[in-house]
A and B are shown apart, each in its own frame.
Chain A
């Protein structure tokens, strides 16, 4: 592939789509593992899963690739947003955006920024502590940590806002990634769109259920 490809507007879209779908695949792993807290076994399954994720060398490498993907997705979004601002130097006085597109498809930058803020909070809650424990070769009970973190109502609120931002980001992003990759087909695109909607809703409901159920002591 010529290096010029990634400099074209199409190449940049393709990169956004690819990194986006890669992050989506991470969500699947993350939500599946976390859903084990609903097994009501005092977090046993969950903790052994978390322990595996923290120590397995393959996962360690994937984690680095994941951060790389995230950073590329963010930096690319920033460059594109700045370029798009330059493409319309004088703003319209009146815009009827609702007439031609959904608000969330027009707000991917804001939704993404909210997600990033949430992610920083989220990583500082869990990821950093886990890392320190691995580094010091200590046992780490992530399940207990979750229970403690989610005992504060304002934390639960922050998580809900983060999950809602994720939901809308996915509602547009999932099908948008396929379009960017050129994967559009009369037969399959309606299906991709449907899967995208259901995926966004189910994943986000599951994620939202975790802090809420812990806060309400439904998960013991």
Chain B
């Protein structure tokens, strides 16, 4: 573990710089001094970017939005792990107290053919949006708000669906997987709806379409290493992947259209 409250760190940062999608990037080394252990990892990047701007250099592009672990935008591959050395947190929730004075930190973008680098550490995760658009929805009549508990849902199903719905679409699962597979993400989305009564109407068509969309985006194939589950900031379980395998197999066997 790092140092205590209010301590300051001197760090060496190796950051991936890449002009655009087509350019081939390379690492750039930066020295940082007086980084407070109370800072988040992104705040440390803010400090670095301020410094670069003062020096008349171009700031490092990186994604972020909520900075409180709910939007899934912050995507940094830190010292060989998505979202850095701590389990169950996003990069914005990672703090500099997780590092030691004198550390060298290597920061890379998510690396996946399906997530092209836009610039530096920012990648295009539009592939996830297209997978969702292919089937990750339920068709319902809109109108007045329904009464709560109109449709009864068993507690365990509700809990499991809720667990799957916690996925924030960050893509750490893809980044962590040695095969670049997106199965954890897609299975979370498939499960969330397959477990609930509202999702039954499109259940079979949904899994067929979403898996087809996933395969089309060029993600790799799952070999059950479990790296995704271990690195997922929201604790999405491998059980979801098994469920998706079941759902897809039974849909392929029985769906007629």
In the bound complex, do residue A105 and residue B225 qualify as a contact, i.e. CB atoms below 8 Å apart?
Answer: yes
Nearest Cβ distance between residue B203 and chain A, in whole angstroms? 15
In the bound complex, do residue A179 and residue B241 qualify as a contact, i.e. CB atoms below 8 Å apart?
Answer: yes
Question: Which of B77, B108, B220, B244 is A10 in contact with, Cβ under 8 Å?
Answer: B244
Q: Which segment of A29-37, A95-103, A204-212 sits at the interface?
A: A95-103
Q: Count how many chain A residues have C-beta atoms less than 8 Å from C-beta atoms of the other chain.
A: 43
In the bound complex, do residue A91 and residue B183 qualify as a contact, i.e. CB atoms below 8 Å apart?
Answer: no
Distance between Cα atoms of A183 and B245 in the complex (Å): 9
In the bound complex, do residue A95 and residue B221 qualify as a contact, i.e. CB atoms below 8 Å apart?
Answer: no
A89 near B: Cβ within 8 Å?
yes
A57 near B: Cβ within 8 Å?
no
Q: Per-position contact with B for A1-34: 1 when CB-CB < 8 Å, else 0?
A: 1101100111111100000000000000000000
Asked, given contacts A4-B252, A182-B246, whether A83 binds B111 with beta carbons under 8 Å apart, the answer is no
In the bound complex, do residue A99 and residue B249 qualify as a contact, i.e. CB atoms below 8 Å apart?
Answer: no
Nearest Cβ distance between residue B248 and chain A, in whole angstroms? 4
Distance between Cα atoms of A180 and B238 in the complex (Å): 11
In the bound complex, do residue A100 and residue B113 qualify as a contact, i.e. CB atoms below 8 Å apart?
Answer: no
Q: Name the A residues within 8 Å of B230 (CB-CB).
A: 99-101
In the bound complex, do residue B238 and residue A94 qualify as a contact, i.e. CB atoms below 8 Å apart?
Answer: no
B242 near A: Cβ within 8 Å?
yes
Q: Per-position contact with B for A162-182: 1 when CB-CB < 8 Å, else 0?
A: 000000000010011001111
B192 near A: Cβ within 8 Å?
no
Question: Which of A8, A89, A102 is B212 in contact with, Cβ under 8 Å?
Answer: A8
A56 near B: Cβ within 8 Å?
no
Q: Name the A residues within 8 Å of B211 (CB-CB).
A: 8-10
Asked, given contacts A1-B253, A8-B212, A182-B249, whether A87 binds B112 with beta carbons under 8 Å apart, the answer is yes
Q: Count how many chain B residues have C-beta atoms less than 8 Å from C-beta atoms of the other chain.
A: 48
A138 near B: Cβ within 8 Å?
no
B215 near A: Cβ within 8 Å?
yes
Distance between Cα atoms of A13 and B211 in the complex (Å): 13
Question: Which of A10, A86, A100, A186 is B218 in contact with, Cβ under 8 Å?
Answer: A86
Most chain A CB within a 10 A radius of its CB, from B108, B215, B220, B223 = B223
In the bound complex, do residue B180 and residue A5 qualify as a contact, i.e. CB atoms below 8 Å apart?
Answer: no
Distance between Cα atoms of A179 and B220 in the complex (Å): 17
Asked, given contacts A88-B180, A105-B226, whether A183 binds B242 with beta carbons under 8 Å apart, the answer is yes
Distance between Cα atoms of A11 and B222 in the complex (Å): 11
Asked, given contacts A1-B252, A83-B220, whether A101 binds B81 with beta carbons under 8 Å apart, the answer is no
Asked, given contacts A9-B221, A172-B224, A179-B242, whether A93 binds B106 with beta carbons under 8 Å apart, the answer is yes
In the bound complex, do residue A88 and residue B242 qualify as a contact, i.e. CB atoms below 8 Å apart?
Answer: no
Q: Name the B residues within 8 Å of A11 (CB-CB).
A: 248-249, 252
Q: Name the B residues within 8 Å of A88 (CB-CB).
A: 111-113, 178-180, 220
- Which 6 pairs across A and B sit closest by C-beta, in order of nearness? A182-B246, A184-B242, A96-B80, A87-B220, A87-B180, A100-B230
**Other A-B pairs, 17, CB within 8 Å; known A8-B215, A9-B222, A87-B179:** A1-B252, A1-B253, A5-B252, A9-B181, A12-B221, A13-B222, A80-B221, A86-B220, A87-B220, A88-B180, A94-B106, A100-B231, A108-B223, A176-B223, A179-B224, A179-B245, A183-B242
Q: List 16 A-B contacts (CB under 8 A).
A: A5-B253, A10-B211, A11-B249, A80-B221, A83-B220, A84-B179, A88-B111, A88-B179, A92-B80, A96-B80, A96-B81, A97-B80, A97-B227, A179-B238, A180-B245, A181-B249
